[in-house]
Amino acid sequence: MTLGLGTGSTTRYAIEMIGQRLREGTLRHIAGVPTSSGSARVAQEVGIPLTTLQQHPSLDLTIDGADEVGPNLVLIKGQGGALLREKIVARASRREIIIVDESKLVQVLGTHAPLAVEVIPFGWDTYSQRLRGLGCDPLLRMREAQPYVTDEGNYILDCHFERIDDPVALEAELNLIPGVVENGLFIGLASLVLVASTAGVAELLP
């Protein structure tokens, strides 16, 4: 199988487990496409062979996490800073499994996590006014007093909404803004969500 390897603290556990099973011999013939330099580093550390979308443009499965899971398995992703590659890999996958704990389940998107919007650095501040017009408070993501830079060399604006009632319309609006590269709304991409709680693991289907 060719696997998309998501980004984030929860997905790291999955990557480590895949590596363990490869070493034990209970899994064989696995190659992974990482969605970030961080995931690539973890995969290499645990012995997962890596490949690329150029070599494997169609993936069997992607395993990833989410910041929020709403009705119909509409997701907010992007707190790990890899939303662009994560969405590219998700669209190249036959199936995408999302793994979360129960705290990530919401009735309305935007109520717990900000929506990450990836933008090119040139003129990034000019996007803020347009984003505010969509009903959010956009904040430039920082790291050690400097703008956070994605693997693709872009900035991220964390857009704080009170609620996102129409994620489909919002995604379309965001994609019309010049300079916006991608946003953290993942619509129609999750095949299955596995939700961990003290009661066990529940399965959510679209």
User: Domain extents for the chain?
Assistant: 2-102+187-204, 115-181
CB 101 within 8 A of CB 65: no
Strand order in the sheet with 155-161: 136-140, 155-161, 115-119, 180-183
Confidence (pTM): 0.95
CATH code of 2-102+187-204, in short, is 3.40.50.1360
Q: State the pLDDT at residue 127.
A: 87
Superfamily of 115-181 according to CATH: ACT domain (3.30.70.260)
Q: State the pLDDT at residue 129.
A: 87
Catalytic residue set: 86
- Low pLDDT (below 50) residues in the chain: none
Contacts of 79 (CB under 8 A, 6+ apart): 8, 67, 113, 114, 116
For 1-30, the DSSP string reads: -EEEE--SHHHHHHHHHHHHHHHHTSS-S-
Same fold across 2-102+187-204 and 115-181: no
